[in-house]
Amino acid sequence: MRLASTDGISNSAVPSFGSFTHSRARRIEPSSAAAGLAHEISNHVMLVTGLTYIAKRSNDPTEWRRALLKIEDRCEDIAETLRTFMAFSSRREDDLTMSFSAAEMLAQATRLLRPLALDAGASIETNDVEDAPLQGDERMALQAVVNLGSNAIRASCQDTGRVRIRGMRLDEDTYRIDVEDNGPGIPEPLRHRLFRPFVSGNPGKGGRGMGLFVVRQTVRCLGGLIRAESSTSGTTFSVELPLIGAPSGAQGGC
């Protein structure tokens, strides 16, 4: 089984993002993700318009209420999407020139995740973590790992759930973080669009499907990439981040 690109999980060869990039622009500019977000929002607006059309032509109060609830839900989706996009567009490049300890960041992520794991009856293993100095905003990296860990806990097997977090140097420029669960895997129909907005890898378990989209954008802002591998015995998300001193490359930021 091969790792998937950030747009989903497939069995084909994986195109990489390219080399790490560290732009010198004062403010991080939105990337082509803006076009994707505009498309998703447009779809939701069309649905709202359709629901409004149905409600206006119905004399059934029950039908009105059903339509209004659906419209409210779509508007919340749109609002969350806009908040996410605005948060990334407002980040400054200065935040990405800092450095932090990979082991300390992963230890903090584990502390934040333990109460959630305990509540779900799952365990977290972090015995295989190599320390290294990473480049970028520690808060952003922590957000990404906690988000992946939360998803892994929800996806892990009930009563026997297990989440493993590993960190290791791949080479002199790259550090990899793996977040692995022992759940049933991501449903096949979702794998090719896993990192798109409003798509949840854990359908039926809450969330609006923005988590993995946010993680992907966060990792890209850090100059890294994210991949995923899934089967019926579990799922592993792998995040590759630049070490201090890693050369600039061709990949765009947020």
Q: What CATH number corresponds to the domain at position 191?
A: 3.30.565.10
Structural domain boundaries, residue 177: 96-242
Whether residue 166 sits in one domain with residue 79: no
Instruction: Note the pTM of the prediction, 2 decimals.
Output: 0.65
| Helical pair 33-56 and 61-89, crossing angle rounded to 10 deg | 160
Residue by residue, pLDDT tens for the chain (254 residues) are 434 434 333 333 333 322 223 333 334 444 555 666 676 677 778 888 888 888 888 888 888 888 888 888 778 777 766 766 666 565 555 555 688 999 999 999 999 999 888 888 899 999 889 999 999 889 889 989 998 999 899 888 777 889 999 999 999 999 999 999 998 888 887 777 777 765 555 545 444 445 788 888 889 888 999 999 988 889 999 999 999 988 764 344 55
- Residue 151 near residue 226 (C-beta atoms within 8 A): no
Separation of alpha carbons 194 and 9, rounded Å: 7
Q: How many domains does the chain have?
A: 2
pLDDT at residue 64, rounded to an integer? 87
Is residue 253 domain-resident? no
Whether residue 118 sits in one domain with residue 81: no
Whether residue 82 sits in one domain with residue 185: no
Is residue 69 domain-resident? yes
Whether residue 179 sits in one domain with residue 63: no
Whether residue 149 sits in one domain with residue 47: no
Whether residue 176 sits in one domain with residue 62: no
Whether residue 56 sits in one domain with residue 175: no
Separation of alpha carbons 19 and 115, rounded Å: 37
CA angle 115, 116, 117 (to 5 degrees): 90
